[in-house]
Amino acid sequence: MDRLKQLRNIFKGDSIIWMIFFLLCVISILEVYSSSSILGYKTGNYWYAAFYHTALLGVGLVVMVCVLNVPCRYFKIMTPLMVPLSVVLLVLVYLIGTKENDAARWIKLFGVIPVQPSEIAKGTMVLATAHILSQLQTPNGAHPKAFKYVCITAGVLIALIFPENFSTAALMGVVVFIMMIIGRVPMRQIGYLCSGVVFVALLSVMAVFMLGKSKDQLAHDEVAKERQLTEVVHEKADKESATGSRGSLLHRLDLWKDRMSNFLNTEYVEPEKYDLDKNGQVGHANIAISSSNFLGVGPGNSVQRDFLPLAFSDFIYAIIFEELGWIGAAFVALLYISLLFRTGYIARQCQNTFPAYLAMGLALMIVVQALFNMCVAVGLAPVTGQPLPLISKGGTSSIINCIYIGVILSISRTAKRRDGDGPAVTHKAA
């Protein structure tokens, strides 16, 4: 009994959220170990990726337990600190950031600890949006000023992320939009926002297709350039990649055009004529899913993990499909949906609006990102580079997602809740 009591003192909060978290972690460890065989082949240590990921989840668990013991009222105090910190980190990533996939996304704190500022900015945006919506809430819905303040705060963070990480910026925009609906922002303002977003999206797509260059165009330009350059200039050009010579922003346009063109191309290609070298991610993901059948090939028996780039990260859902079949893939999707609905139940129990909006915003951030990843894996969306939360092998993102869960557990434990028509009481640990 004493040991059981000690466990309850550690694992406080909603028991269903805990159950979902542990199931996702178990699936994550198994699938990261299975899908990271290519890393094991390169390093000669087939257990390294699984051990590293398990250790990272262990660190995330410790951080999560610490966060869930923080009363939810203190999260509001962090808003004035986190917003300027996120802006500074996002600016620093352009100045001293480390490039990954031709985009500056990482900085190293103290020259050692790798941090992805966009992951911190996502949580900060949810925190600030929940703060604004709760502070400006009236009996008839959110005050009209709430819309302006949310758009300014979220707009600054999204604008800083957009040039180097379009998919994360889009994810943040979707979450803010849903939070404004939940926060009862006037529908007239929501309508204006939708019109503006559609207009900007159309202009952006036009700019991508007008200014961006396809891989064939880039290759042709590079060949022409090599013929015209002198030996001295040619030696200098050799140090630059064909894409890097167009600059960071133009290169991102090239990448976005290539991805959108591949996604919008509905021309049927016979399997034997499909160029896996040109579009290997989508091709091998489709092979993995189509060969899964109903029950899959079994855990650890994936074939496409050895050919699919980033099988342990962006396309891990395709490996889950291949190994666990449609049942396993549906079960993983159900876990995310259950997380959203259970968080919605917790939010409805809150007497105050801030913890309710914060919990829903963080759950939406996890679930919407998971839906992005799943849609990419099954071919319903262009390649985005978004990992599957709490399952994909990651660094900063894994820790941040554990913090999200910790905040939700803290809200389930400490937020004042409605208890029928009686007075507010404190939500006890499950």
pLDDT in tens, 85-110: 999 989 888 887 776 655 557 777 66
> By C-alpha distance, which of 370, 368, 371, 341 is closest to 177?
368
Question: Which DSSP helix (H) or strand (E) runs through 357?
Answer: helix 353-377
Mean pLDDT computed over 286-296: 79
What is the residue-wise DSSP string for 147-205? HHHHHHHHHHHHHHHTTT-HHHHHHHHHHHHHHHHHTT--HHHHHHHHHHHHHHHHHHH
State how far the Cα of 54 lies from the Cα of 60, in Å rounded to an integer. Answer: 10
Residues facing 115 on adjacent strands: 107
> By C-alpha distance, which of 229, 224, 208 is closest to 382?
208
Q: 108 with 115: CB under 8 angstroms? A: yes
> By C-alpha distance, which of 215, 213, 209, 212 is closest to 278?
215
Q: Residue 247 has which token pair?
A: 């600059």
- 3-state DSSP call for residue 297? coil
Residue-wise pLDDT tens digits, 181-237 = 999 999 999 999 999 888 887 887 777 667 666 555 544 444 444 445 444 434 443
pLDDT for 241 beyond 80: no
Residue type for position 79:
T
Please identify which residue in the block is written with the tokens 């087939």.
46
What is the b/e burial string over 67-97, where b = at least 16 CB atoms within 10 angstroms of the residue's CB? bbbeebeebbebbeebbeebbebbeebeeeb
What is the residue-wise DSSP string for 74-134? HHHHTHHHHHHHHHHHHHHHHHHPEEETTEEEEEEETTTEEE-HHHHHHHHHHHHHHHHHH
Q: Residue 422 has which token pair?
A: 């009686």
Which pLDDT band, with edges at 50, 70 and 90, does 421 fall under? Answer: very low
Which pLDDT band, with edges at 50, 70 and 90, does 270 fall under? Answer: low
Residue type for position 248:
S
> By C-alpha distance, which of 323, 313, 331 is closest to 291?
323
State how far the Cα of 260 lies from the Cα of 222, in Å rounded to an integer. Answer: 22
Question: Which DSSP helix (H) or strand (E) runs through 33?
Answer: helix 15-35
Residue-wise pLDDT tens digits, 22-61 = 999 999 988 888 877 665 556 666 677 778 888 989 999 9
Mean pLDDT computed over 378-389: 82
Least confident of 50-54, 238-242, 417-421: 238-242
pLDDT for 404 beyond 90: yes
Q: Residue 129 has which token pair?
A: 């949006």
